[in-house]
Amino acid sequence: MPVAEKYEVDIDFVNVSHTEVTVLREVYGFSAPDSVVLDGVRMRPKGKPSTTLLVFMHPTGSIRRIPLPRVMAATGIHVLCAESRYARNDTPLIMEKVIVDYGAFVRHAKEVWEYDKVVLVGWSGGGSLTALYQSQAENHTITTTPAGDPVDLAGLIPGDAFIFQAAHLGRADMLRDFIDPSVLDESNPEIRDTELDLYDPRNPNQPPYSQDFLEHFRSQQVARIDRRTTYVKELLEHLRNHGDGESERVILTHRTLADPRFLDITIDPNDREPGMSFMGKPELANISPAGLARCSTLRGWLSQWSPEDTNARAHVAARNIHVPLLAIENSADNAVPQPHTQQLFDACASSDKTAHVISGANHYYMGQDDHMRDAVGVISEWLQERDLLQL
pLDDT tens for the chain, residues 1 to 391: 577 889 999 999 999 999 888 767 777 765 667 889 999 999 999 999 999 999 999 999 888 888 899 999 999 999 999 999 999 899 999 999 999 999 999 999 999 999 999 999 999 999 999 999 999 999 999 999 999 999 999 999 999 999 999 999 999 999 999 999 999 999 999 999 999 999 999 999 999 999 999 999 999 999 999 999 999 999 999 999 987 889 999 999 999 999 999 999 999 999 999 999 999 999 999 999 989 999 999 999 999 999 999 999 999 999 999 999 999 999 999 999 999 999 999 999 999 999 999 999 999 999 999 999 999 999 999 999 999 997 7
Task: Show contacts of 24-28: CB within 8 Å, 24+ apart.
Answer: 24/247, 24/248, 26/92, 26/94, 26/248, 26/297, 26/299, 26/300, 27/85, 27/86, 27/89, 27/92, 28/89
Class of domain 9-170+311-385: alpha beta
Distance, in Å, from the CA atom of 323 to the CA atom of 353, rounded to the nearest integer, reads 9
**What are φ and ψ of residue 154, in 5° steps?**
-75, 145
Do the beta carbons of residue 163 and residue 126 sit within 8 Å? no
Q: How is the chain split into domains, by residue range?
A: 9-170+311-385, 174-305
- CA–CA separation, 16 vs 361, rounded Å? 34
